[in-house]
């Protein structure tokens, strides 16, 4: 199970840190064409969400590098990412973009798996 957790951590890093960086630097008009939710938010909020994703994505992977740290990067990053994904689910319900909800819930489960490991 620890190997699966490691793979999920790396996958979450790629999804959030790299995906968030791409969303942070792309023009809002380009993002709005690809993602329906962008039209409903202020561009500063969209950039803020992307920045949160980048920082938390890095926070998910940092424990692999800093093994002696007393700060639980995974706990804080995971909790913030879970809150972000819950917000994404609520947003997609609110705007009627139901196709995205399953993906958000799968990612939410992956974040929970890494943040609160249940294996010995």
**pTM here?**
0.89
Summary mean pLDDT of the chain = 92
Distance CA(101)–CA(111), nearest Å, equals 15
Q: Where are the domains of the chain?
A: 2-115
Kindly state the helix (H) or strand (E) to which residue 38 belongs, with its residue range: none
Distance CA(103)–CA(105), nearest Å, equals 5
HSE (side-chain half, CA atoms, 13 Å) at 26: 17
Tell me if 110 sits within 8 A of 6, measured CB to CB. no
The predicted model gives 48-67 an average pLDDT of 92
Q: Is the pLDDT of residue 63 over 90?
A: no
Output the CA angle 111-9-30, nearest 5 degrees.
75
């Amino acid at each position: 199970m620890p190997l699966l957790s490691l793979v999920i951590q790396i996958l979450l890093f790629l999804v959030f840190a790299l995906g968030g960086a791409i969303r942070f630097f792309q023009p809002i008009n380009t993002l709005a064409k690809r993602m329906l939710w962008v039209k409903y938010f202020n561009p500063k909020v969209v950039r803020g969400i992307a920045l949160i994703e980048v920082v938390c994505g890095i926070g998910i992977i940092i424990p692999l590098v800093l093994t002696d740290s007393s700060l639980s990067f995974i706990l804080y990053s995971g909790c913030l990412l879970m809150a972000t994904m819950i917000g994404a689910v609520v947003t997609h319900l609110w705007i009627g973009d139901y196709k995205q909800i399953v993906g958000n819930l799968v990612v939410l489960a992956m974040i929970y798996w890494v943040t609160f490991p249940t294996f010995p």
